[in-house]
Amino acid sequence: MNKKYVIAFDQGTTSTRTIVFDDKGQIKAIAQKELTQHYPQSGWVEHDPLEIYNDQLETFNQALSESGIKIEDIAAVGITNQRETTVVWDKETGEPIHNAIVWLDKRTSEICKELKQRGLSKYIQKNTGLVIDSYFSGTKLKWILEHVEGAQAKAEQGKLLFGTIDSWLIYKFTKGKKHVTDHTNASRTMIYNIKTLNWDKKLLEVLKIPESMLPKVQNSSSDFGSIDYKGIDIPIYGVAGDQQASLFGQGGFHSGIAKSTYGTGCFILLNTGEKQVRSKKGLLTTLTCSLDSESVNYALEGSIFAGGASIQWLRDRMQIIEKASDTEAICNSIPPLKKVYVVPAFAGLGAPHWDAKAKGSVYGMTLDTGKNELIKATVEALAYQTKDVINAMVKDSNEKIVTLKVDGGASANNYLMQFQSDLLNVDVDRPKMIEVTAFGAALLAGIKANIWNKNHVETIRKVDTVFSPKMDNKTRKQKYKGWKKAVKRTKRH
């Protein structure tokens, strides 16, 4: 039987999607549902885990129907997911005991402060590759155990399970048979030791997390169980957190390859090979996608909390644009900005600053500043923040970045991509298919199913545009100097 299709489940922060790929890496169908955001308090963000599962199932059905393919022709499913978002559910009923706490959520800042006061910062960086921040899953899990009545006792009795979104979806789709995750998602929990590749017993003890709650960790391209779909078993053969899936889909298997994904947040990863680089610049060390036949690789990562989210803010809260795609024409319609900067620290500042208390701000406004200037400054902030991270990566790793590979929704904005190239003074390479994250998950599954191998990425990944720098050095330096001043004024510590 010629199984020639691979399905990607792409469960993100703002939407849940299913994408059908054929054996040439071409998209046959996409189905998508917007995900409801819940904000119970200021700085808190939640999702309904059952809505996530139901939406994933619904988009799966829809994509299969639209593509017209037979279930028997599906070789495998790959899952890529928003990382760090935390779900705890009852082992017997499979029901969540609380809404999922989203990676953006800031409620565990006090727990993080206590961990720092206990002198754990160095231990956590050395063993998990992360900094102490409410962004990661470990403190979110502790919060749920402390705040849901009876949860700590049930967890200690082995009656509760924890997972990031990949684990939750696998558990539901395999009808409770599999409680597993992969190296990339585990490396974002702040309780996984990326040196020994085991859950870190010391941190579990500190956070009072019973090990019985935690999923088994395996390679990103391996057997995660099967989906029983209308009597036919479809294997789940690939799992990776969205940013590592994107690096994989961009062909970032080797040391020195960097990519930036412009999604809700912006995420920049640089593959450092088998070398675990410990950052002195506030970057994270994380695991890349792992294959059965190879040893694990590491990457440096910089996370920018408000990327596309700041464009959503312009649309939904400020209501000065109708849709995100309008920003390109607006940016091109006005002259270069004169020292106007938006620092979109809506959820604090991520790498390399790590200031949870910073708040969004605008600098350099005059009576000439109108809504178009505000829009342009918000778009440009994505490029400035990316430059902050890339500069730190180069210093940490001693790797020279010649080309930045890009993907994600905002990478479709030609103005932003050209400005990014100008600021970095390197080429920015955008592929024709910007669904690179979903393709990365599909690729992991397809490799395990013997449809593809890693070399296929070079033939499947077609270049759309390479943006080359046009800005003169003096202008570049002046603009970036102004940005750094604005960030300095925004920081609270």
Contacts of 410 (CB under 8 A, 6+ apart): 262, 263, 307, 308, 311, 324, 382, 416
Closest CA relative to residue 323, chosen from 386, 375, 385, 362: 375
Q: For residues 426 and 469, what is the distance between their CA atoms, to the nearest angstrom?
A: 6
Summarize pLDDT for 340-364 with one digit per residue, the tens: 999 999 888 888 888 888 999 999 9
Quick one: angle between helices 414-424 and 326-333, nearest 10?
A: 60
Confidence of residue 461 (pLDDT cuts 50, 70, 90): confident
Residue 416: pLDDT over 60: yes
Q: E strands of 411-456, at which residues?
A: 427-431
DSSP track, 204-240: HHHHT--GGGSPEEE-SBS---EEEETTEEEEEEEEE
| Tokens 């604005």, located at residue | 486
Residue 185: pLDDT over 90: yes
Q: For residues 390 and 288, what is the distance between their CA atoms, to the nearest angstrom?
A: 18
Residue 371: pLDDT over 90: yes
Q: E strands of 283-371, at which residues?
A: 284-287, 298-304, 341-343, 361-363
pLDDT: which is higher, 493 or 175? 175
Helix (H) or strand (E) holding 156: helix 151-156
Residue 107: pLDDT over 90: yes
Mean pLDDT for all residues in the chain: 93
Strand order in the sheet with 284-287: 284-287, 298-304, 266-273, 258-262, 403-407, 427-431, 463-467
3-state secondary structure of 164: coil
Q: For residues 333 and 372, what is the distance between their CA atoms, to the nearest angstrom?
A: 9
Summarize pLDDT for 249-258 with one digit per residue, the tens: 988 888 888 8
Confidence of residue 282 (pLDDT cuts 50, 70, 90): confident
Confidence of residue 456 (pLDDT cuts 50, 70, 90): confident
Contacts of 297 (CB under 8 A, 6+ apart): 253, 255, 271, 272, 273, 274, 287, 288, 290
Q: Taking the model in full, what pTM does it have?
A: 0.86
Mean pLDDT of the 160-178 span: 97
Helix (H) or strand (E) holding 405: strand 403-407
Domains of the chain: 5-239 (3.30.420.40)
- Predicted confidence at residue 453, as pLDDT, reads 85
Confidence of residue 327 (pLDDT cuts 50, 70, 90): very high
Residue 90: pLDDT over 90: yes
- Predicted confidence at residue 493, as pLDDT, reads 60
- Predicted confidence at residue 177, as pLDDT, reads 95
3-state secondary structure of 132: coil
- The overall longest dimension of the chain from CA atoms, in Å, is 69
